[in-house]
Structure 1
Amino acid sequence: MREPDFWKTPPDAPGWRARLLSPLGYLYAQATHRRVAQEPGHRARVPVICVGNINAGGTGKTPTTIALLQHLSAKGLNPHVVSRGYGGSVEGPLRVNEMQHRAAQTGDEPLLLAAFGPTWIAKDRAAGVRAAEADGADLILLDDGFQNPGVHKDISIVVVDAKRGFGNGLCIPAGPLREPVTAGMKRADLCLTIGNATAQDGFDATWGAQVTVPRMRGEVRPLQMGMDWTGTPYFAFAGIAHPEKLFMTLKGLGATIAGTKALDDHQPLTPALLARLEADAARLGAQLVTTEKDAVRLPPEFRAKVLTVPVRLEVEDWSSFDELLGRLTS
């Protein structure tokens, strides 16, 4: 079988396990290629901006979507978010109400996003987009869905964790990618790399040549709330793709970390699990602390026991995005 032209050799040689699994990764890449090659589905009457990734999760899409909501709202636009609602039980379309709904219904990310702007969940993304249009959205942010052809995208932003880059450059299960980098870049309009200066420089050295679209840089930083994080020991827990990010953020704030618990991404916070976390923190004389995304999964009666570390994405330069947006809205 002839290799499709999107399959390229990664810049760094993968380990033996990845090489062993690379035929399966090749098949995964082919399946993704066939899916995205389908004719695009619903074409909205308003611009659709997709916030997606090539890696499988953990790149910073949620902070990016929040930053976009704030950036677009400051321009006088009325953006709505449409999400699949991963982890939620509701099929939708449903407009999320952060005061009424629970993460078990909507998924944690939509519940968090709803605090920043109108957010819809729908297993059928096209149905969610139609609902947002009918509700008066003049622009739609598609949370994920870069590899899903169900909705036509006017702008596609690929979000990358600058420190991790594209891993070993191979597709699942041989590597972390949903599709080869070259294939994704052909459909992308912008690439946003998230990380500090050191991580950005490392990304430039390893992957910069493969980013063939305009690139933006940003860094997720904790909000300055005037709180003194020193002096009190903390027990930190997180059920995000990379829990260590919370632990490093706390250390950067000067916090004393008495204990940590890394949970699975989107892991349900059951009464038994919360009881264990509370007991572990009490044994260490520590205050429980977690991320915003985890906090929305906490039952209301437990939230007062847990501190939250809010973070926001700060983008260095919005000009590449604003130029593309101007072509759509002028």
Structure 2
Amino acid sequence: MADKTMESALLRNSNFFTSNIPLISTRSNDDKEVVGIDLGTSRCCAAVNRKNGITTIPLDNTGERLLPSFVSYDEESVKCGKVVFERLRNYSKSTVFDSKRIIGKKFGDIVIDLFWPYGLTEINGKVFIEIRKFNGNNEPLVNGLVSAEEVAADLLKHIKQKSDEFRGKKLTKAVITVPATFDIAQKIATTEAAKNAGWDEIILLPEPIAAAFAYFIDRPILNDSVVLDIDDFDPFQDGMISINRKEFEKMCEPLLNKVRNTLVAALYNSNLNANQINKVLLVGGGSRMPMIKILLQKTFPDSAHSCEENPDEVVAMGAAYYAQSIY
């Protein structure tokens, strides 16, 4: 019954997926208790509105703005971020990452990654992640289960704590971005995770829409533009193995073909030709890679290609701009 209620609420409030983008306000108002969050597969980012405008929050305990989406359960206090990634070699069985690829999905719909150090199991139709968990002081780790929703909630709790500290007050509202392809079950799971993390009011915003907000806050929106969100590449993989650029690009060929096929399908479904696209926006850390830029330039040779200085912060900043416009 709870899921049905949540689904009804999402359907009632999902007009932002299809309606016109509201007018963007450029007024700075740091009294708003709202944050924009990019709950990323590999890294998370959050932004708020301050007197000098939208700014990103140092989320990692190192002071870095980007928080690796890694969560560890080997100690009494759950840890998130770079410290977890750096301890991965010794505590891999207690660490969860890529939870966004699992959240809200049925077991049969999940694409298992051979690099995952954890297994998955299904209990009464719900998917759980098999890990080694903390079991008291000086006690050995024990086998345990955690859901992707719990992992997302732990990431969001960390983000909320850092956001509250950064603003010096409790933030109660959050605009959280999700892939445009997320279905109702995935949206419900993400919303539940945010509520469990302590957010009172949550709005889900498609990542491409958030990116458009960030790019077009101070410039006109051109007709027939397309936002391309490249997130099929894990920026942490090359930190785990020794590899040169040529080898990496060879390994990525299947993913590049997937991106290429997705672009062709998107054009076909939109009844557009590549030469009708006048601007391509590159979003996400993966868009920094030369092979991605080359692929897009070959696919859209007549388009203007734009990439911000910090493309992995664009979605979070767009979510914050959106929040500023509606609250």
TM bucket by the smaller chain?
0.3 to 0.5
TM-score by length of 2: 0.33
TM-score by length of 1: 0.33
Task: Judging by fraction of residues, say which structure has more helix.
Answer: 2
